[in-house]
Structure 1
Amino acid sequence: MKLRPLEKRDLPYIYEQENSRKVMALWFEEPYTSFDELQILYDRHILDQTERRFVVEENDRFIGVVELMDIDTLHRHTEIQIIIHSEFQGHGYAQAAMRAGIEYAFTVLNMHKVYLYVDVNNSAAIHIYKKIGFIPEGTLRQHFFAEGEYHDSLMMGIFPHEFTF
């Protein structure tokens, strides 16, 4: 498994993910993006220094995406997000990809903290995040709206000294 920068040729895979209600609900976002809109967003954000998007792949197969969002160079923290394609879930890719994204944030971007938000009911993801070393920092009550209802979100964070490189 490796991470590489997201490229325009990956947009059909991203389009598939972003049009899945189930997948986008995990990111607390609305599905159904048009492919034209996705291309415009790609072009607009490709040079944005406050985010990094990586493709998770193995043997040239698209496995998923890891994103570092809201990169704050003053306070040195960033949010991490991940989506693993459903056919590859349960094979350890999420944990390996998260670890690679966190390592990039700490060693390349010199971040002091990496954080994430996860639905309090997503026990599988919370388990993975805790195994990596994320610590729960608090619950945001009814913080996100997805699939017709409000969801509580757990905020979790990790510092370099809590992460095993």
Structure 2
Amino acid sequence: MRIRPLERKDLPYVYNQENARGVMALWFEEAYTSFDELELLYEKHVLDQTERRFVIDVDGQFAGVVELMYIDDLHRNTEIQIIVDKDFQGQGLAQEAMQKGIEYAFNVLNMYKVYLYVDVDNQAAVHIYEKIGFQNEGRLRQHFFAEGQYHDSFVMGILRSEF
């Protein structure tokens, strides 16, 4: 397994992931409505220095996405997000891909802290994040709206010295 930069050729796979309501609800986001919109977003963000998107690549197959968002060079922190394709879940890829994304944030981008948001009810994800070394920094009450209701979210973070 490796992570590599997201390319235009990966957009059909991203489109399939992001049109799955259940998947996007975990990210507290709506599914995209069209492939054209996804292409426009790709064009808009491909040169954006405040984010990096990586494909989880398993033997040349698209297995998911790891994203570093809101890269803040002043405060040296960034948010990390991950989606593992359903066909590749249960293989330990989420933990390995998260570790590679965090390593990139600390060793390439010189970040001091990486943080994430996770639904308090997503105990499988919380467990993975804790195994990596993330610490729960607090609970945001009814902070995100997804699937027709508000959800509490944990904010979790890991410092460079803890990784």
Alignment of 1:25-104 (within 5 A): 25-104=25-104
Runs of 4+ with deviation above 4 angstroms: none
Length, aligned pairs only: 163
Counterpart contact for 2:139–2:155, Cα < 8 Å = yes
Amino acid at match of 2:22: K
Aligned to 1:123: 123
Instruction: Output one character per residue of 1:78-107: Cα deviation in whole Å (capped at 9) or x when no partner.
Output: 000000001111100000000000000000
Secondary structure in structure 1 of the residue aligned to 2:154: strand
1:13-35 deviations in whole A, cap 9, x for unaligned? 00001100000000000013310
Distance (whole Å) between structure 2 residues aligned to residue 104 and residue 59 of structure 1:
21
Letter in 2 for 1:152: D
Contact 1:20-1:32 within 8 A present in 2 as well: no
Check whether the contact 2:32–2:38 (CA below 8 A) recurs between aligned residues.
no
CA contact (8 A) 1:53 1:65 kept: yes
Structure 1 residue ranges without an equivalent (≥5): none
Is the Cα contact below 8 Å between 1:118 and 1:154 reproduced in 2? Answer: yes
Q: TM-score, normalised by structure 2?
A: 0.99
**Partner amino acid, structure 2, of 1:134:** F
In 1, the alpha carbon distance for the partners of 2:32 and 2:161 equals 40
Match of 2:149 in 1: 149
Q: Residue 31 of structure 2: SS of its match in structure 1?
A: coil
Q: Specify the alignment match of 1:133 in structure 2.
A: 133
Task: Structure 2 unaligned segments of length 5 or more: list them.
Answer: none
TM-score normalised to structure 1 length: 0.98
* Contact 2:119–2:153 (Cα < 8 Å) also in 1: yes
Tell me, in whole angstroms, the C-alpha distance in 2 between the residues paired with 1:141 and 1:124: 20
Q: Distance in 2 between matches of 1:123 and 1:32?
A: 26
Q: Helix, strand or coil for the counterpart of 2:95?
A: helix
Q: Output the aligned Cα RMSD.
A: 0.5
Any conservation in 2 of the 1:137–1:157 contact (CA below 8 Å)?
yes
Identity fraction in percent: 71
* Residue type at the aligned position of 2:45: H
